[in-house]
Amino acid sequence: MFEEFDASASDGSELAKSFFGRCISSGTAALYERFLQTNSDLLGVVFYGSVNKKNSSDFDGVYVYQDLEVPQTAQVKALEDLLKGGPSLGAVGGGGGRVSINDALWVCQNMFSDVKVRTAGRRVLLFTNEDEPHASDDDAKKQAVTKAKDLREVGININLINMAKAGQRFDLDLFYKDIVSYTADSEVPIPGLTGLVSKVSTAVKAQRTLMKIPFYIDETMSIGVKFYSGPMEKKKPGHVYTTRQKNERVETKTMHYCADTESQLRGAEMKRGTNYGAGAKVIFDQKEQKEMKTFGNPGLFLQGFKPKARLKMQYNVKNAKFIRPDESVITGSKQLFAAMLQKCLDKDVVAICRLVARYNSAPTFVALLPQPEVEATADNPRGNPAGFHVITLPFADDMRKLPYADRPEVAVADKQAHVEAADAVVSKLQSAAYIPGKYENVALSKFHKYIEAIVFDRDDVEAVDTMKPDLEAMTTAAGAEMAAFTALVYPEGYEGGQAAPKKRKADGAAGGGAKRIKKEPAAPVDLGSLDFKKMVTDGTLKKQTVKVLKQFLVSVGRAGTGKKAELLEAVEAHFGL
Looking up residue 38, the CATH number of its domain turns out to be 3.40.50.410
pLDDT in tens, 478-500: 888 988 888 888 776 666 555 44
According to the per-residue pLDDT averaged within each range, which of 181-185, 329-333, 513-517 is highest?
Answer: 329-333
**Does position 2 have pLDDT exceeding 70, yes or no?**
no
| pLDDT category of residue 57 using cuts at 50, 70 and 90 | confident
> Does 191 lie in the same domain as 104?
yes
In this prediction, residue 187 carries a pLDDT of 39
Q: Are 389 and 369 in contact (CB under 8 A)?
A: yes
CA distance 339 to 344: 9
Confirm whether 543 is domain-assigned: yes
pLDDT of residue 184: 44
Q: Same domain for 24 and 132?
A: yes
Residues 316 and 184 occupy one common structural domain: no
Q: What is the pLDDT of residues 302-348, one digit of tens each?
A: 999 999 999 988 888 888 899 999 888 788 888 999 999 999 999 99
Would 418 be classed as within a structural domain? yes
DSSP lists the bridge partners of residue 62 as 48
The answer to whether residue 147 sits within a structural domain is yes
Average model confidence (pLDDT) across the chain:
76
Q: pLDDT: is 153 or 346 the higher one?
A: 346
Task: Give me the percent of the chain exceeding a pLDDT of 90.
Answer: 10
Residue 239: inside a domain: no
pLDDT of 504? 55
DSSP letters, 506-529, are: PTTSTTPPPPPPPPPPPPPP-GGG
Q: What local confidence, expressed as pLDDT, does residue 95 receive?
A: 65
Q: Domain limits at 156?
A: 7-204
Rounded to two decimals, the pTM is 0.55
Same domain as 427, residue 324: no
Q: What is the pLDDT of residue 344?
A: 93
**What does the pLDDT read at residue 11?**
44
Instruction: Say what the pLDDT of residue 177 is.
Output: 78
Whether 73 contacts 455, CB under 8 Å: yes
Rounded average pLDDT over 512-526: 56
DSSP per-residue letters across 270-317 = --EEEEETTTEEEEE-HHHHHHHT--SSSEEEEEEEEEGGG--GGG--
**What's the pLDDT at 189?**
38
Structure confidence at residue 4 (pLDDT): 52
Model confidence pLDDT, tens digit, residues 349-399: 999 999 998 888 889 999 999 999 887 665 666 678 889 999 999 988 888
Q: Are residues 228 and 192 in the same domain?
A: no
What's at 98, amino acid-wise? R
Higher-pLDDT residue of 103 and 202 is 103
Evaluate whether residue 242 is within a structural domain.
no
Residue 276 lies in a domain: no
Residue 571 or residue 11, greater confidence: 571
Average pLDDT over residues 246-269: 84
Same domain, 182 and 224: no
Is 116 among the domain residues?
A: yes
The verdict on 217 and 329 lying in the same domain is yes
pLDDT score of 276:
77
What is the per-residue pLDDT across 398-438, written as a single tens digit (0 to 9) for each? 887 777 666 667 677 778 888 989 999 999 888 776 776 67
Give yes or no for residue 70 having a pLDDT over 60.
yes
- Please tell me whether residues 320 and 464 are part of one structural domain: no
The pLDDT of residue 12 is 43
Q: What is the pLDDT of residues 86-136, one digit of tens each?
A: 655 667 766 666 778 888 888 888 888 888 777 767 777 777 777 778 878
- Same domain for 84 and 223? no
The total number of structural domains in the chain stands at 4
In terms of average pLDDT, the best of 104-113, 269-278, 558-567 is 104-113
Identify whether residues 432 and 566 lie together within a single domain. no
Which has the closest alpha carbon to 161: 125, 197, 194, 204? 125
Is there a single domain that holds both residue 121 and residue 99?
A: yes
522 or 5, which is more confident? Answer: 522
* C-alpha span between 390 and 421 (Å, rounded): 39
Non-local (6+) Cβ contacts of 32 within 8 A are 76, 448, 452
**Chain CA centroid to CA 243, Å:** 30
Residue 268 confidence (pLDDT) above 80: no
Residues 216-241 have pLDDT tens digits of 998 888 899 999 887 777 777 777 88
Distance between CA atoms of 395 and 201, rounded to whole angstroms? 38
